[in-house]
Every structure is written in C-alpha cells, then in structure tokens.
Chain A
Amino acid sequence: AQSVTQPDIHITVSEGASLELRCNYSYGATPYLFWYVQSPGQGLQLLLKYFSGDTLVQGIKGFEAEFKRSQSSFNPRKPSVHWSDAAEYFCAVDAGNKLTFGGGTRVLVKP
C-alpha cells in the first residue's frame, strides 16, 4: 500500500534563502508523484509532478525537483524564496486514480 509522510510540519526560511521540501514515499512499481501548494484560504494548486522520463522536473513558482528512485525521493527545491512562497505544501502519491496525501509542510518566510 502507498504511504506518504512529510517529516517537516513547519519550515521557517528567510526571504532570499534556499528551500527544500521533503517527503517520504512508499509506492508500487510505477510511481506517480505530486506536490501541491496551498496558499492561505485557497485551494490546492499543482506545484510539480513526476510520472516517468526525465527525472529533473521544473514546476511553477521557480521550484524544481529531481526524482531519485534509489532514495525514493522527489523533493522540490527553490534557490531563493520570495515572501509569496509562504504557503502549505503537500506531497501525494497516485494509487490507482486516488491520491494519498502527506500531512503537509507549512512554510513561513521571514523578511
């Protein structure tokens, strides 16, 4: 069975500093991996996704992530965060057309 855990409940980062989000996945042979971002009071928006092919993926808001099968990781990074990156971020695994979500990581950006 798929499982998804996000080890960081909160991350506080200074504006202009780098940011990496983490997620631990357990999945079957062909993972469909997703990251969603939720700004305060809003719905979820797709940040990044990995199905197959090129393991380096560019997402929205300047994020990129590399799928590393040996480490079961697909962690988004942004080299320089902006105040508008303050949001909650969710990773998810597709389990037969149903997503299993992690608990979320809330990112706070200090001026």
Chain B
Amino acid sequence: NAGVTQTPKFRILKIGQSMTLQCTQDMNHNYMYWYRQDPGMGLKLIYYSVGAGITDKGEVPNGYNVSRSTTEDFPLRLELAAPSQTSVYFCASEGQYNEQFFGPGTRLTVL
C-alpha cells in the first residue's frame, strides 16, 4: 500500500513552458486535492475532486488545470509557467474520517 505518490520530486521550468504533476493514490479514495505551499503561507487549495469525472476550483486555481479520469489519478497541469508558480505542490486524498493523506510533494522552480 503505497498511499499517495507524486512525480516528479523536483522540476525546473522556464517561463512559458508547460508540465504535468502526477498524483496517484491506491486507497480507493473518492476525494483528492492539490495544494501549493509557499513559505509562511500554509497550504492553499488549488483544485479538488470528489470522484472520477468531477473536479472543482479551490482558493487559487488560476494558471492550473486538472482532470480526474480514474479514481486513482489526479494530475495537475501548468500550461504557461510563471515565476509566481514557484512553490511546493502537494497532492492529498481523503479517507473515511475526513483525514487527508499527503504525498511527498513536488518542488517546482520557474525561472
């Protein structure tokens, strides 16, 4: 049981490039989330999903897109990377008792 896995661990992008952050969970959880973590700011919700085929915006969705074609996978897409998207990105899934399980994170730098 691997829990929540994220790839890549680190990435450097140039301004305007695009990339997809991968997230997979093997706990059969319906709810999944993407957060970004900036120093001193806690975690901000980017997008979330309540099940396959259903996604919704969180607090800071601009510049990002998501899809949820399966229960297991919840990729986050950055289309035109900007320096403001330099951050650490965490994916999470929610278990039976509202507890969220987090992946190890992806550290993204946009130069």
Contact = CB atoms under 8 A, between A and B. Distances in A.
B93 to A, nearest CB: 12
Contacts of A94: 98
Contact of A97 (B31, B41, B43, B103): B31
B98 A104 contact: no
B48 A98 contact: yes
Nearest to A102: B42
B43 A101 contact: yes
Contact of A103 (B33, B40, B48, B103): B40
A32 B98 contact: yes
Contact of A43 (B31, B33, B90): B90
Given A43-B90, A44-B90, A51 B98 contact: yes
Contact of A99 (B97, B100, B105): B100
Interface residues of B, number: 23
B58 A98 contact: yes
Interface residues of A, number: 21
Given A97-B94, A99-B45, A43 B40 contact: no
A94 to B, nearest CB: 5
Interface string A79-107: 00000000000100010011101111000
B75 interface: no
A90 B97 contact: no
B22 to A, nearest CB: 15
Contacts of B33: 98-99
A109 to B, nearest CB: 20
A42 B45 CA distance: 18
Interface in A4-56: 4, 9, 32, 34, 36, 42-46, 49, 51
A43 B45 contact: no
Nearest to A46: B99
Interface of B: 4, 31, 33, 40-45, 48, 50, 58, 90, 92, 94, 97-100, 102-105
